[in-house]
C-alpha cells in the first residue's frame, strides 16, 4: 500500500530528492504525505493532507527550506488504515522529544496492547495510527543505541511492516521489513530505500532486496542483519534492466491510457519466454496432484480464466481461489500439490500468505509476476516474469493481459502443443496492434458519452469470457465509480435480470466459439426487458445497440475482449472527471490484509 522512500548521500539535496521519489510512488497511496529531513542535529518534519503530486517544489517557500544542507531524509505517501486522513495521522511520526522519525507501511496487529503499555510508561500519542507505537518503542530503548533500539522495538511487533528510521543523534539510515516490500538502491557513495524501484530508477539500476525479518543499517555502506538470529548477512547486487522511460507518462495524459496502449508490445514480450523453462513447468503441472491458481482482485479473475483455459486446452482440472479465501482450502494442499500464484507486484499480502502455507506443506510454488526479485519471486520454486514493465496506474491493464498470455501458453504446453499456443498468441498480439488506433479510441469515447450518466451497468460472458465479465466489472468500478456487476450469462434468469430496466447498459462479451449462440440468447433476454446491449464481438449482431469490434482470436479471446472494456473504463473516468490513475480508496500494491 503506502509508498516509502529514503535517501542517504552527499551528492544531492536529500529533502528534494525524497519528495521527487514520493511523487513517483504516489500510486501506492495518496491520502496524505510527509517528509522528515535531518539538518545539523535536528529532525525537521513537513506533512500535508492530499496528493503529493500537487506539491510544487518551486513554490515551497515557508514550507520546506531546500537551501539547508541535508544528506539524510525519509518520506511517506499514505493509504490510510488506522486513523482518518489528517495531518496528525500522516507520516513521518516523531518520538516525544523529536529526536527520532519513522515512516511505516503495513499494519501492526498488536498495536493496541503496545500502546496501552507505552501510555502507562508516560508516553503521549498525537495520532490515531498504529505506527506511532513503533517510534515510542524505539525511544523507550534508545539507551541501547539506535540500531539495537530498532532491533528491540521490532521484536515486539506482530503483523506486516516496512519501517524506515532516522535520528538527530546518529547519521545513519535504518530499515526493517516483514511482509511489506523494501528495496535498497546502491549508487556511488549514495543509497536509496524505497517500496518500489521506479522511485530511484533514474539514479541507479543496482539494487539489493530486503527479505522478511531482515534489517539494513546504512552508514558509509549498507550492513544487513537477520532479525531472528542477529547475524550479519551478505546481499548480492541485482542489475535492473527496466527502461526508466517506461515509468514515466511521456506524451500521455494518464498512466492508465499509456499502459493500455502498451499492450501492442507487452503481450509479445510476455510470450517471449525460455522454451525449456516453460516445458519444465508444464511437466511439473502434469505431475502435480492438485494444482491451485491463487490471486487477488484482478489477478484472481486471471486465475479463474486460467482454470477455464487449462480445462479447455489441456483437458486438465486446475483449481482457482482468491488469496484471501485460500485459508478455507489449505487442507487440500499436500507435498504433491503445485500452487500457481499470480501477482503484478509480487508483494500481495494475501497471496504471500497462501504461498507460506504451501511452502510449509512442502508443495511446489510457481509465481507469475511482473517484478523480478519481489517477495513472491524469491519464495518460489519457479518464476515467470511477464515482462510488462512498470505498471503505475492502480487499475491493472497490461499486466492483466500479459498474465493471461502466460497462462494460455502454459495450458498449451501442458497439452503438448506449445508451438500452436505461441502461434495463436503471436497472431493475437498482432491483431491487438491493429486494433489499438485513434479511430478505435474515438468509437469507445462515443460509447462512453452515451452511458456516462448511468449509475449501474452489467457485463455478461460465458466460458472463457465469464471471468472477463467479472474483470470488466472491476475495471468499471475502479475508475468510473459506476456500479457494475459481472455475471455468467446463463445466471441472469436466476435473479440478476430483475435489475434490468429501460436503457440499462449491459455489455455482452461474445466470442466466436461454442458459447456464442447461448450468450447472444442471454443478451436477447436483457434486451427484451429494455436493456441497452453493448456487444464486444468479432461480428456485429442485430441484438447489439452498440457494437465494439474485436479480433477473432480463438482461445486468446479473453485477452482481446478485455481491452475495449479497459478503454471504456478509462474514457468514462475522464468524462466523469475522475483520476483514472488514482481511484478513490484504492492503492496499487495491496500489502496489507
| Local confidence pLDDT in tens for the 593 residues of the chain | 688 999 999 877 898 899 898 888 887 777 889 999 998 878 999 998 988 877 877 776 667 877 778 889 999 998 777 788 898 999 999 999 999 999 998 889 899 999 999 999 999 999 999 899 999 999 999 999 999 999 999 999 998 889 999 999 999 999 999 878 899 999 988 999 998 888 898 899 899 988 889 999 999 899 999 998 989 999 988 888 766 666 677 789 999 999 999 998 999 999 999 999 999 999 999 999 999 999 999 999 999 999 999 999 999 999 999 998 888 888 889 999 999 999 998 988 899 999 999 999 999 999 999 988 888 998 999 999 999 988 989 999 999 999 999 999 999 999 999 999 999 999 999 999 889 998 999 999 999 999 999 989 999 999 999 999 999 999 999 999 999 999 999 888 788 888 888 999 999 999 999 999 999 999 999 999 999 999 999 999 999 999 999 999 999 999 999 999 999 999 999 999 999 998 887 765 555 45
Alpha helices in 361-501 (DSSP H): 375-379, 398-414, 418-435, 438-451, 466-480
Task: Look at residue 308 and tell me if it is in a domain.
Answer: yes
Asked if residue 447 and residue 431 are part of one domain, the reply reads: no
What domain range is 314 assigned to?
249-435
Asked if residue 295 and residue 383 are part of one domain, the reply reads: yes
| 70 catalytic per annotation | no
Asked if residue 450 and residue 426 are part of one domain, the reply reads: no
Asked if residue 418 and residue 329 are part of one domain, the reply reads: yes
Asked if residue 159 and residue 71 are part of one domain, the reply reads: yes
Task: Look at residue 415 and tell me if it is in a domain.
Answer: yes
Task: Look at residue 426 and tell me if it is in a domain.
Answer: yes
pLDDT, position 30 = 77
pLDDT, position 1 = 64
End-to-end CA distance of the chain: 10
Task: Look at residue 346 and tell me if it is in a domain.
Answer: yes
Task: Look at residue 108 and tell me if it is in a domain.
Answer: yes
Asked if residue 277 and residue 132 are part of one domain, the reply reads: no
Domain endpoint, select from 216, 241, 266: 241
* Grid-cell match 478455507, residue found: 328
Q: Is 368 exposed, middle or buried (0-12, 13-18, 19+ CB in 10 A)?
A: buried
Task: Work out whether the CA dihedral 32, 36, 37, 39 comes out positive or negative.
Answer: positive
Which of 8, 392, 475, 588 is labelled catalytic?
A: 588
pLDDT, position 244 = 61
| 588 catalytic per annotation | yes
Asked if residue 140 and residue 72 are part of one domain, the reply reads: yes
CATH number of the domain enclosing 564: 3.40.50.10490
Which regions of 129-246 does DSSP assign to beta strands (E)?
Answer: 159-167, 173-178, 183-186, 190-194, 206-209, 214-218, 222-226, 232-233, 238-239
Q: Are residues 65 and 34 in contact, defined by beta-carbon separation less than 8 angstroms?
A: no
Asked if residue 460 and residue 425 are part of one domain, the reply reads: no
> What total of structural domains would you count in the chain?
3
Task: Look at residue 593 and tell me if it is in a domain.
Answer: no
Task: Look at residue 311 and tell me if it is in a domain.
Answer: yes
CATH number of the domain enclosing 92: 3.60.20.10
How far apart CA 568 and CA 566 sit, in angstroms, is 5
* Grid-cell match 449482431, residue found: 541
Asked if residue 372 and residue 295 are part of one domain, the reply reads: yes
Residues 6+ apart with CB under 8 A from 542: none
Asked if residue 484 and residue 351 are part of one domain, the reply reads: no
Task: Look at residue 586 and tell me if it is in a domain.
Answer: no
The pTM assigned to this predicted structure is 0.77
Domain endpoint, select from 408, 435, 462: 435
pLDDT, position 199 = 87
Q: For 287-319, b where at least 16 C-beta lie within 10 A, e where not — what string?
A: ebeebbbbbbbbbbbbbbbbbbbbebbbebebb
How far apart CA 351 and CA 358 sit, in angstroms, is 11
Asked if residue 54 and residue 74 are part of one domain, the reply reads: yes
Whether residue 106 is preceded by a cis peptide bond, meaning omega within 30 degrees of 0, is no
How far apart CA 450 and CA 457 sit, in angstroms, is 13
Domain endpoint, select from 381, 414, 435: 435
Asked if residue 444 and residue 431 are part of one domain, the reply reads: no
Which of 2, 70, 296, 506 is labelled catalytic?
A: 2
Torsion on CA atoms 293, 295, 299, 302, rounded to nearest 10: 20
Amino acid at each position: 500500500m503506502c509508498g516509502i522512500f529514503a535517501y542517504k548521500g552527499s551528492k544531492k539535496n536529500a529533502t528534494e530528492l525524497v519528495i521527487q521519489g514520493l511523487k513517483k510512488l504516489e500510486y501506492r497511496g495518496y491520502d496524505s504525505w510527509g517528509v522528515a529531513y535531518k539538518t545539523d542535529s535536528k529532525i525537521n518534519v513537513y506533512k500535508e493532507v492530499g496528493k503529493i503530486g500537487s506539491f510544487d517544489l518551486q513554490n515551497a517557500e515557508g514550507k520546506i527550506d531546500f537551501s539547508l544542507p541535508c544528506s539524510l531524509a525519509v518520506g511517506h505517501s499514505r493509504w490510510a488504515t488506522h486513523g482518518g486522513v489528517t495531518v496528525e495521522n500522516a507520516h513521518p511520526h516523531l518520538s516525544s522529544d523529536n529526536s527520532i522519525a519513522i515512516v511505516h507501511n503495513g499494519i501492526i496487529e498488536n498495536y493496541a496492547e503496545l500502546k496501552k503499555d507505552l501510555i502507562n510508561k508516560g508516553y503521549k500519542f498525537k495520532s490515531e495510527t498504529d505506527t506511532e507505537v513503533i517510534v515510542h518503542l524505539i525511544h523507550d530503548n534508545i539507551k541501547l543505541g539506535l540500531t539495537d533500539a530498532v532491533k528491540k522495538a521490532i521484536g515486539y511487533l506482530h503483523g506486516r511492516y516496512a519501517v524506515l528510521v532516522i535520528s538527530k543523534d546518529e547519521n545513519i539510515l535504518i530499515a526493517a521489513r516483514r511482509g511489506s516490500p523494501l528495496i535498497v538502491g546502491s549508487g556511488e557513495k549514495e543509497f536509496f530505500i524505497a517500496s518500489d524501484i521506479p522511485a530511484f530508477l533514474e539514479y541507479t539500476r543496482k539494487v539489493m532486496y530486503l527479505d522478511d525479518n531482515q534489517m539494513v543499517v546504512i552508514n558509509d555502506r549498507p550492513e544487513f542483519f537477520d532479525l531472528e538470529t542477529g547475524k550479519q548477512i551478505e546481499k548480492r547486487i541485482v542489475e535492473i534492466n527496466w527502461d526508466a522511460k517506461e515509468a514515466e507518462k511521456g506524451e500521455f495524459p494518464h498512466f492508465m491510457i499509456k499502459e493500455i496502449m502498451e499492450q501492442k508490445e507487452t503481450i509479445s514480450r510476455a510470450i517471449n519466454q525460455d522454451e525449456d523453462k516453460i516445458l519444465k513447468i508444464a511437466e511439473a503441472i502434469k505431475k502435480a496432484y492438485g494444482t491451485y491458481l491463487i490471486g487477488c482482485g484482478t489477478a484472481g479473475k486471471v486465475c479463474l480464466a486460467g482454470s477455464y483455459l487449462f480445462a479447455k486446452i489441456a483437458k486438465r482440472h486446475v483449481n482457482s481461489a482468491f488469496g484471501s479465501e485460500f485459508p478455507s482450502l489449505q487442507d487440500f494442499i499436500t507435498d504433491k500439490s503445485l500452487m500457481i500464484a499470480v501477482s503484478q507486484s509480487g508483494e500481495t499480502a494475501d497471496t504471500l500468505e497462501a504461498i507460506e502455507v504451501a511452502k510449509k506443506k512442502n508443495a511446489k510454488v510457481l509465481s507469475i509476476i511482473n517484478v523480478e526479485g519481489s517477495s513472491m519471486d524469491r519464495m518460489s520454486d519457479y518464476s515467470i516474469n511477464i515482462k510488462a514493465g512498470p505498471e503505475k496506474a492502480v487499475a491493472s491493464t497490461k499486466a492483466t493481459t500479459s498474465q493471461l498470455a502466460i497462462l494460455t501458453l502454459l495450458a498449451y504446453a501442458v497439452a503438448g502443443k506449445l508451438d500452436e499456443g505461441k502461434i495463436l498468441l503471436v497472431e493475437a498480439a498482432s491483431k491487438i496492434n491493429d486494433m489499438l488506433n485513434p479511430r478505435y479510441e474515438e468509437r469507445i469515447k462515443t460509447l462512453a458519452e452515451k452511458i456516462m450518466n448511468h449509475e449501474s451497468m452489467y457485463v455478461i460472458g460465458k466460458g472463457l469470457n465469464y471471468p472477463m465479465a467479472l474483470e470488466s466489472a472491476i475495471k468499471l468500478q475502479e475508475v468510473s465509480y459506476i456500479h457494475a456487476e459481472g455475471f455468467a450469462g446463463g445466471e441472469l434468469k436466476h435473479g440478476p435480470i430483475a435489475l434490468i430496466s429501460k436503457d440499462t447498459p449491459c455489455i455482452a462479451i461474445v466470442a466466436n466459439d461454442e458459447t456464442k449462440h447461448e450468450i447472444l440468447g442471454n443478451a436477447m433476454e436483457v434486451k427484451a426487458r429494455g436493456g441497452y446491449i453493448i456487444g464486444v464481438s468479432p461480428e456485429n449482431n442485430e441484438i447489439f445497440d452498440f457494437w465494439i469490434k474485436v479480433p477473432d482470436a480463438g482461445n486468446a479471446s479473453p485477452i482481446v475482449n478485455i481491452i475495449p472494456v479497459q478503454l471504456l473504463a478509462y474514457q468514462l473516468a475522464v468524462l466523469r472527471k475522475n483520476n483514472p490513475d488514482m481511484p478513490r480508496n484504492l492503492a496499487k500494491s495491496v500489502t496489507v490484509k
